[in-house]
Structure 1
């Protein structure tokens, strides 16, 4: 609701008004302008000037925006973790995930190095995957910085493992393009095989669980180059990713015995 530009334009009185509103949104949504002025010790003209800076014609429109914001940020019901995990294991018992895991393991086994790529929670999984693969004797590294420079010419005979829930993460797609230009094989682990990342990978392992995201309050108070990452928290379970990574690593170990 408040962008960085809007906040920067506020003077001292308007900033105190902004701080009060952030702490009392439920209350302000149903106050009269005179009541808000008394509570914040500012004039009604200051409040109206504040509303105009937020692209509202008046206090009534501003209150409408607050009510809409409160409606959008109502807490989302989160499923029990058992539901998501059972959903995944029921699907793999009927699909060909084991075949995809073995194919990925063969690609990794034939390479000298493994590069894990991920951002956010997928970045944590990339770090975990690199540690786990190294534990079974396959030297691995991870990249979880979206702006990390990749000099692919130093990575001959390597394979990359890209992790992304949505399969649409722009920095990951950029990294994959750079790697593919150097003829590096790419394995992707995504929630769907119909995503961009899965389509441009040499091998894709989809796991198909219900994605869970909810809006965060920080997303409404900041304007950022990657607004979606700020506005929404992705709490999709990473249990399937752990299962797939550990399964690939164990297959690699078997192939190298």
Structure 2
């Protein structure tokens, strides 16, 4: 899913003024990125601050940041059609389809992902770790394995991190959260009732909430920080591929940014961990 597709999906969530700006983007995206804010406001029939608010409502820092991501999205080449594998595909065709789908999804995310929600999520995670709070990762089905990977990445920083993929355990764990803890939900569709219920329980307890999920989904609207993870794969596909890779990459970005922000304390923990692992290897 490119930036224009995301704007179309979220159109109903904008204010009337922001919708006017969105329609201007959709009507002439190339022209939009070339015009100054005063001209954009005039053509949309809104104020200049409304143009900036539209960009920020999508998670971008402002108009300049939005224009950069819009240009990258438009310059990505011919629109990509997600290729589903078929029973009659040869080994060579399967390799090309699977890898092309993954490469396109990651490239699109790189070109269009707003930095603002990732920065906000990083701040919440770093604050939780610094104050000895708990990180709890939720995922259901395929996303449950991504949650386990996130637990593995973050507990190495020396913090308390747990992953849950069972709906009943998620409700129970959410009930045990407190102010200062952080719940991170990973979901392809963002429509799991168990995850939504657990999110509401965690928020009522005062915990911070972050979701890596599809734009426009109920879960995206239920959390404090939403990191859009959009792609061309139907979320009810029997064997999801690109969604898992995209979610893993988002977790990698967050873990790297948090480790850099926390600095020496995390680096010392990871260095000690690495040394102990090396010392435990069988060398004969």
TM-score band (shorter)?
0.5 to 0.7
How well do the aligned residues superpose, as a CA RMSD in angstroms? Answer: 2.4
Counterpart check, 1:205 vs 2:227: yes
> Which of residues 101, 121, 131 in structure 2 aligns to 1:104?
121
Structure 1 runs not aligned, ≥5 long: 1-73, 215-231
Q: Does 1:163 align with 2:178?
A: no
Alignment length (residue pairs) = 166
Alpha-carbon distance between aligned partners in 2 of 1:176 and 1:76, rounded to the nearest angstrom:
43
- Partner of residue 206, structure 2: 183
Aligned position for 1:235: 240
Q: Which residue of structure 1 aligns with residue 217 of structure 2?
A: 195
Q: Do the aligned partners of residues 108 and 166 (structure 1) sit closer, same or farther apart at CA in structure 2, a change above 3 Å counting?
A: same
CA distance in 2, matches of 1:94, 1:147: 38
Q: Is the 8 A contact 1:180 1:186 kept in 2?
A: yes
Residue 244, structure 1, aligned to residue 241, structure 2: no
Q: Indicate conservation of the 8 Å contact 1:213/1:235, yes or no.
A: yes
Are the counterparts in 2 of residues 162 and 189 from structure 1 also a CA contact under 8 Å?
Answer: yes
Structure 2: runs of 5 or more not aligned: 1-85, 264-284
How far apart in 2 are the matches of 1:127 and 1:198? 21
Report deviation, 1:207.
2.0
TM (normalized to structure 1)? Answer: 0.59
Select the structure of larger CA radius of gyration: 1
Quick one: structure 1 residues 213 and 141, their matched pair in 2 at CA, closer, same or farther if it must change by over 3 Å?
closer
Q: How far did 1:255 drift?
A: 1.1
User: Which aligned segments of 4 or more residues in structure 1 are displaced greater than 6 angstroms?
Assistant: 76-79
1:115 aligned counterpart, secondary structure:
strand
Higher relative contact order (CA 8 A, sep 6+): 1
163, 180, 196: which one aligns with 1:173:
196
Instruction: Give secondary structure in 1 for the equivalent of 2:168.
Output: coil
After superposition, the Cα gap between the structure-2 partners of 1:169 and 1:151, relative to the gap in structure 1 and judged at 3 Å, is closer
Distance 2:239 2:208 in 1: 28
1:77-96 equivalences in 2 (<5 Å): 80-96=97-113
Per the alignment, in what secondary structure is the counterpart of residue 216 of structure 2?
coil
Q: State the match for 2:147 in structure 1.
A: 126
Cα distance between partner residues in 2 of 1:197 and 1:158: 19
Give 1:105 shift.
1.0
Preserved CA contact (<8 Å) 1:122 1:165: yes
Greater helix share, 1 or 2? Answer: 2
2:158 equivalent in structure 1: 137
Q: Give TM-score scaled by structure 2 length.
A: 0.53
